[in-house]
A and B are shown apart, each in its own frame.
Chain A
Amino acid sequence: MNKEYEVVIIGGGPAGLSAGLYTSRARLSSLLIERGLVGGQIVNAELVENYPGFPEGISGLELTQLMHQQATKYGLETLLAETTGIELKEGQKVVKTTEANFIAKAVIIAGGSERAKLGIPGEKEFTGKGVSYCATCDAAFFKGEPIAVVGGGDAAITEARHLTRFASKVIVIHRRHQLRTSRILQEKAFAEPKIEFLWNTIVEEIKGEEVVQQLSLRNVITGEKFTLDVAGIFMSIGFKPNTAYLKGVLPLDAAGYITTNEKMGTEIPGIFAAGDIRYNSAQQAVTAAGDGVTAAIYAEIFIR
């Protein structure tokens, strides 16, 4: 027997937790399924300074623990498992996980995204040997050494600034000629003497003996090829939505994102999507939370 819930929420980041708060308070039986740690990507942020209501900032872990506590207080149930599929059977939605299957009247997909890989030679071989996807985790292994950060968004610049505490020099390699970050972050990065920029540049190969030693680079405007000696390379080139298990269930765009209407509805009635997993999401904790709430409200209308 598959257990039944009125709402099943996939993903325990800001979007899923906010959806769960609202569906629980609407007195809909609600299950949240999370494959990692409840909290989502934002647990990697040491200090979140732009979530309204916390003028001194708050750590991402603490912020989402509070969200979880609040939703649980109103009856949200949490299961630690990975969702592996959604099946539509006679008007019912069956959510499959590594632990059990569940039947839901409405499903809110809030699985967010994860770090994209560059897919260049050397990247896989040197992962853990100088190639890193988590600056807060690995910065301390590169004391006094030159390191590269690939990317030009908020996450890349935040990480470059964090790395200056350990590295002798941080070289930001970006394929465009300007950053895609908030002005306040740009000003801070440009003022930091340890950070240098390589504009219009892409990494073609990562080389070394046992550990990373050198990058092969190319300027995309002039075509000039050159090398850079570094001890580490931190990847911050954007994100890939967690939608692999949804192929064939929902239409996804070329990059794998889910398109929704203004009610967070997808093409299948009763299946909603919220947060970073949506096409054109603003990729912020507060907008993800807002999406989750919108989805919850329209899920309630759909069910009742």
Chain B
Amino acid sequence: MSKPITVDDANFDQTVLQAEALVLVDFWAPWCRPCLMLAPILDELAEDYSGKITFTRLDVDQNPKTASRYQIMSIPTLLLFKKGEPVSHIVGYKPKAELKRDLDTAST
């Protein structure tokens, strides 16, 4: 069972930036409906990409430092990190099939 793990301003460097594997960060907030729509899809994708991509989520409301460091101005935003650098940037709600396409292109 792979489920997205919650990250915050305090552990972001360690969990996301210093990770060996690819890490996807879901920037979200509880008031954002498309974020809530995306959450169950990311739960499923975390399962599908288990061992390949680590799925994490960061509440922008609670963690303004990380959100502003990556200039997040629209949520949901998904950033895919490879060795500490964002390599892919997905803005807004997308259906599962489309996200899979994006992740496959970014992770190969």
The residues of A with any CB-CB pair to B shorter than 8 Å are: 35-37, 43-44, 61, 80, 82, 98, 127-134, 136-138, 140-142, 210-211, 232
Contact = CB atoms under 8 A, between A and B. Distances in A.
The 3 closest A-B pairs by CB, nearest first: A128-B91, A37-B37, A137-B32
A232 B75 CA distance: 14
Contact of A61 (B33, B75, B92): B33
A211 B70 CA distance: 12
Contacts of B95: 35-36, 82
B74 A43 contact: no
B37 A36 contact: yes
Given A35-B95, A129-B73, 4 more contacts: A43-B37, A132-B73, A137-B34, A210-B71
Interface residues of B, number: 23
Main DSSP-derived SS at the B contact region: loop
B36 interface: yes
Interface of B: 29, 31-37, 61, 71-77, 89, 91-93, 95-97
Contacts of B92: 127-128, 133-134
A140 B33 contact: no
Contacts of A43: 33, 37
20 contacts: A35-B95, A36-B37, A36-B93, A37-B36, A43-B33, A61-B36, A128-B72, A128-B73, A128-B77, A128-B89, A128-B91, A134-B33, A136-B33, A137-B32, A137-B33, A137-B35, A138-B73, A140-B31, A141-B74, A232-B73
A44 B91 CA distance: 17
Contact of B74 (A44, A82, A137): A137
B97 A141 contact: no
A142 B72 CA distance: 11
A128 B33 contact: no
Nearest to B68: A141
A131 B76 CA distance: 13
A138 B31 contact: no
Nearest to B35: A137
Count chain B CB atoms within 10 A of each CB in A37, A128, A133, A138 and give the residue with the most: A128
Contacts of B91: 127-128
B33 A129 contact: no
